[in-house]
Structures are given as structure tokens and as C-alpha cells.
Amino acid sequence: MGTHNQIERIIDIALEEDVARGDRTTELIIPANMGGSAAIIAREDAVVAGGEIARIALLKVDQSLEVKMEIQDGNPAKAGEVVMVITGRVTSILKAERVILNFLSHLSGVATLTARYVEKVKDLGVKIGDTRKTLPGLRLLEKYAVYAAGGQNNRPDLASGILIKDNHLVAMAAKGISISEGIAKAKAGANGMKVEIEVQNLEQLKQAVDGKPDIIMLDNMSLDDIREAVKTVPTTISLEASGGITLENVREVAEAGVDLISVGAITHSARGVNFSLDFVTGRPAAQE
């Protein structure tokens, strides 16, 4: 399934769970031909993401709505700034309100947290990357928010890259397959994809280096061990640090000399950003 179709499906599911059976309150008290304009306002400083998703959702509810983005995805918004203006049928805007605010809140939360990590290391030439630790069903949109905020997208699914992880190593050891042998097997069938292996200590690191993978992930390793890895691993092998990364220690990890730092928290633990939808004008709309 293509990216566009995946996005459409995510939006359809969100609309289905909220308005598939209608909006009893709005339908009972708001005239169907009433028109107006509403502004979506950031209630706190944030990096915006999800505006385009909100636009698609609005037009799925009512193709006649006019949607104007005042702040594009990936750009900062100050508290009180207008992010989007929607003009058209009031009933349609109200039906879409919670869905579009949910998308904006969550995706802007991901973008805002990503931007904070990126800012911490921006002068060090180190990339901040995401992981597969995403909310079920929302991975594509969360990775879009990471990218919009200046982060790097790592593999979107298990078929998009080769990463030998800790449980692979356990299973390999049970069958008598060494780390270097496992890397060789992966490289033989990689079909052009890079081969990455996760290690948790310096002994595993040494064995991994012997297998000459493209990337070694240093998982939950101490700063001293990360520094030792940077000194001993050939520059032909990229180094990724992951596990236990916080805003407080990310710069120290970057200064140790790794190439990439992957942070699961930017997707699975991002706090939602507060947005509100406020009607700003009222005007008659043409009778249908």
C-alpha cells in the first residue's frame, strides 16, 4: 500500500470512530446552512506538524471548506498564534473539530520534542533519529512529524532494513551461530541494504567489528563504553547510540563521537501540544 493510501486510511479510521454515525448535538441545534470562520490557535509554543493531515480530514468531511495554513508543518508557533483558518459550514467544522485537533496535538508534540533533541546537538554533526517505538497505527504520521522537525527517519518496518538485535543474538547463540557468522549471513542476503547489529557491551562490540557490518548500534551502553567504541571501531562502520537517551544526556552522547542517536521517546512519549478551535466570524451561507 502506497504512502498516500496509508495516510488516507489513518484519517478515515479517525473520522469513523468519531463522526461515522453523525453528530447528534450539532445536527439538532446548528442550522445546516450556517457559515462561519474558525481559527486553530496554538496555546503554547510548539513546532507545528499535522496541519496537512488536518486539511485532508476537513475536506473529507466537507469538500467545500476553505482551509488556509498560516503556519506550515515544521515551523515554530508561539502561544496565541493562529495556525490555521477554516471557512465554510459551521456544522462541518464542528464535526471535524476533535479529529483535527487530535492530529495536530499529537503530531506537533512529536515534532516539538524532536526539535528539542535536534537543537541540543545541532552544532555537532550528529543526527537524531526515530525508532519503531510508535503508537500502533500512527507510525507513518509520527515519522513524518519527526522529519518535519529536522530528525532522521530510521526503518519504517521490518522489511526496510536489516538490524540484528539482542534476541536475534540469543537465538543465534542457541544454534551455535557466532556474531560474525550472523553478520555474514545477513550481508549475503542483504540485496543492497545496509546491515546493522545491536551490541550491549565491549565484548559483543569486538565480535561485531570482526564481522564488518555497516552500522553498529550501541544499546544502553555507558558513556565511557561509547567513547571506547568510538576510539576502537573503524571509521568505515557507522556508530549509532540508543537506549537511555534523554534531553539531559543527549549532548554528552553526541560529543562522544557517534554518528546517529536514536530516541524512542520522541514518538512514544511526546506530550501533546495544546491547540484550540475558536470561531472568529459568522456569516450566512447559501442554502443547499
Among residues 43, 165, 271, 283, which one is catalytic?
165
Q: Which of 17-31, 46-60, 90-104 has the lowest mean pLDDT?
A: 17-31
**55 in active site:** no
Among residues 73, 97, 130, 219, which one is catalytic?
219
pLDDT digit string, tens, across residues 115-161: 999 999 999 999 999 999 999 999 999 999 999 999 999 999 999 99
pLDDT digit string, tens, across residues 194-244: 999 999 999 999 999 999 999 999 999 999 999 999 999 999 999 999 999
Is the pLDDT reported for residue 288 higher than 50? no
Q: In angstroms, rounded to a whole number, what is the distance separating the alpha carbons of residues 139 and 137?
A: 6
Which of 145, 150, 146, 186 has the alpha carbon at shortest distance from 169?
186
Dihedral in degrees, nearest 10, Cα atoms 165, 170, 176, 177: 0
pTM of the model: 0.93
C-alpha cell at 225: 563504553
**98 in active site:** yes
Among residues 73, 130, 198, 240, which one is catalytic?
198
Residue 2: its pLDDT value, please?
A: 74
Q: In angstroms, rounded to a whole number, what is the distance separating the alpha carbons of residues 135 and 112?
A: 17
Mean pLDDT of the 6-35 span: 94
Q: Which fold has domain 120-268?
A: TIM Barrel (3.20.20)
**185 in active site:** no
Whole-number percent of the chain with pLDDT over 70: 97
Q: In angstroms, rounded to a whole number, what is the distance separating the alpha carbons of residues 164 and 180?
A: 11
Region(s) of the chain under CATH 3.20.20.70: 120-268
C-alpha cell at 245: 537517551
Task: Mark residue 248 as left, alpha or beta (left: phi above 0; alpha: psi -120 to 50; beta: remaining).
Answer: alpha
Among residues 116, 132, 133, 185, which one is catalytic?
133
Superfamily of 3-116+271-284 according to CATH? Quinolinate phosphoribosyl transferase, N-terminal domain (3.90.1170.20)
| Burial of 108 (C-beta count, 10 Å sphere; 0-12/13-18/19+) | buried
**133 in active site:** yes
**194 in active site:** no
C-alpha cell at 151: 530528525
Among residues 98, 132, 194, 251, which one is catalytic?
98
- Looking up cell 486539511 gives 55
Region(s) of the chain under CATH 3.90.1170.20: 3-116+271-284
